[in-house]
């Protein structure tokens, strides 16, 4: 069995940039390691050249298993040149470089390694459930597909999401509601605009209104206030025609007190009949009471191993927990992983070797504590 460092290198060397993803070969490597350690492994197809993993070991009565989740797809390399080969997984100055090193193949490698090292003792314990997904970077599409197609995921007693946090426990993340707003008009020659109806003008009024939109909801103590950003606008055929269609991309980040359905209804009324809304992504926020006893255990382990402080935090990004936490019985959920948040999606992405080693130890201690082994 490779170490968590070696396994991270192996996984980084698989090009799983999404799109297109191509996660299957990477997933097959992980599935083989888990099967060899005695896990019951389901390799779930997810389109051409793609796959996801659901792996289980243990299941003693009286207590639900501990869940772990992470994704193996990565974002594209970007337009800037890398100083290190993004798929070589080279190590220099205590850093493991490569696309996905921080986000989040190091996290997946750490919990897979920890689980395999304890496999012999897990069989007669409450055990673990591992959900390793594809398609997270394009809006949690893999996790959503697993939830829809695999009603047998069952429940876990707690869930660890190995996204990049520098090994600091985070107790939630905002939700994401991505909307496409469309305005329509009537095209005409640009020299006779009175003959048409300008969809861009309608869109401009909508964008100005969106800038002033008030969610009218109290701030969350940790997650803060919900946000709305107009990220894209596309309209018009050419400069000398009246545009008959405009598309606006709206990115809303939400807090637990909000209902996405109600927000969409609010915006539909607020923007009026000239604007049609379509939902592109609906990822719920996640929040666990920081006073939950298991959360306290996670913080204690992270303090002991990584020396993190006790301050409460939440992730600014969303994760597969949006889909998986409700599907797994709404267990307490913590986001903790070795990657560095600031390096996710960056050129020359890397993960500190020391973080990977400490994450492996953190996950091992969480498993031993949960399963009493």
Q: What are phi and psi of 295, to 5 degrees?
A: -60, -40
What pLDDT is recorded for position 150? 65
First CA to last CA distance, the chain: 21
State the DSSP string of 147-189.
HHH-GGG---SEEEE--SSTT--B-EE-EEEEEEEEEE-B--B
What pLDDT is recorded for position 151? 66
Look up the pTM and report it. Answer: 0.94
Pairwise CA distance, residues 276 & 246, whole Å: 11
Helix (H, G, I), strand (E, B) or coil at 124: coil
Which domains can be identified in the chain, with CATH numbers?
4-173+285-371 (3.40.630.10), 175-283 (3.30.70.360)
CB-CB contact of 178 with 230 (8 Å) = no
- pLDDT tens track of the chain, all 373 residues? 999 999 999 999 999 999 999 999 999 999 999 999 999 999 999 999 999 999 999 998 899 999 999 999 999 999 999 999 999 999 999 999 999 999 999 999 999 999 999 999 999 999 999 999 999 999 999 999 999 986 679 999 999 999 999 999 999 999 999 999 999 999 999 999 999 999 999 999 999 999 999 999 999 999 999 999 999 999 999 999 999 999 999 999 999 999 999 999 999 999 999 999 999 999 999 999 999 999 999 999 999 999 999 999 999 889 999 999 999 999 999 999 999 988 999 999 999 999 999 999 999 999 999 999 9
DSSP structure class, residue 195: G
Pairwise CA distance, residues 300 & 255, whole Å: 27
CB-CB contact of 149 with 311 (8 Å) = no
How many residues are listed for the chain in this entry?
373
Q: How far is CA 309 from CA 47, 301, 317, in A?
A: 42, 11, 21
Place of tokens 């639900």: 64
CB-CB contact of 334 with 298 (8 Å) = yes
């Amino acid at each position: 069995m490779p170490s968590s460092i070696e396994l991270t290198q192996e996984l980084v060397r698989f090009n799983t940039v999404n799109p297109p993803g191509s996660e299957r070969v990477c997933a097959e490597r992980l599935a083989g390691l888990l099967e060899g350690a005695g896990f019951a492994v389901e390799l779930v197809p997810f389109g051409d050249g793609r796959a996801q993993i659901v792996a289980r070991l243990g299941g003693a009565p009286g207590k639900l298993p501990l869940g772990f989740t992470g994704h193996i797809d990565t974002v594209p390399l970007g337009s800037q040149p890398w100083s290190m080969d993004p798929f070589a997984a080279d190590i220099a100055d205590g850093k493991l470089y490569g696309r996905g090193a921080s986000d989040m193949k190091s996290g997946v490698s750490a919990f897979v390694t920890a689980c395999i090292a304890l496999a012999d003792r897990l069989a007669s314990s409450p055990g673990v459930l591992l959900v390793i997904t594809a398609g997270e970077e394009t809006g949690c599409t893999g996790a959503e597909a697993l939830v829809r197609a695999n009603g047998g995921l069952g429940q876990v007693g707690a869930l660890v999401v190995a996204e990049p946090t520098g090994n600091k426990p985070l107790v939630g993340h905002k939700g994401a509601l991505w909307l496409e707003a469309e305005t329509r008009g009537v095209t005409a020659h640009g020299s006779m605009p009175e003959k048409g109806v300008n969809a861009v003008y309608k869109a401009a009024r909508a964008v100005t209104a969106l800038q002033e939109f008030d969610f009218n909801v109290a701030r969350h103590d940790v997650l803060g206030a919900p946000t709305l950003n107009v990220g894209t606008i596309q309209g018009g055929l050419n400069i000398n025609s009246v545009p008959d269609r405009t598309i606006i991309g709206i990115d809303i980040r939400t807090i637990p007190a909000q209902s996405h359905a109600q927000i969409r209804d609010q915006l539909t009324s607020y923007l009026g009949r000239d604007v049609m809304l379509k939902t592109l992504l609906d990822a719920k926020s996640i929040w666990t009471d920081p006073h939950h006893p298991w959360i306290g255990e996670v913080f204690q382990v992270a303090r002991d191993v990584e020396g993190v402080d006790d301050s409460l935090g939440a992730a600014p990004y969303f994760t597969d927990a949006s889909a998986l936490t409700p599907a797994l019985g709404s267990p307490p959920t913590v986001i903790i992983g070795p990657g560095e948040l600031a390096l996710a999606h960056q050129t020359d992405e890397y993960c500190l070797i020391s973080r990977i080693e400490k994450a492996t130890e953190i996950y091992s201690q969480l498993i031993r504590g949960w399963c009493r082994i």
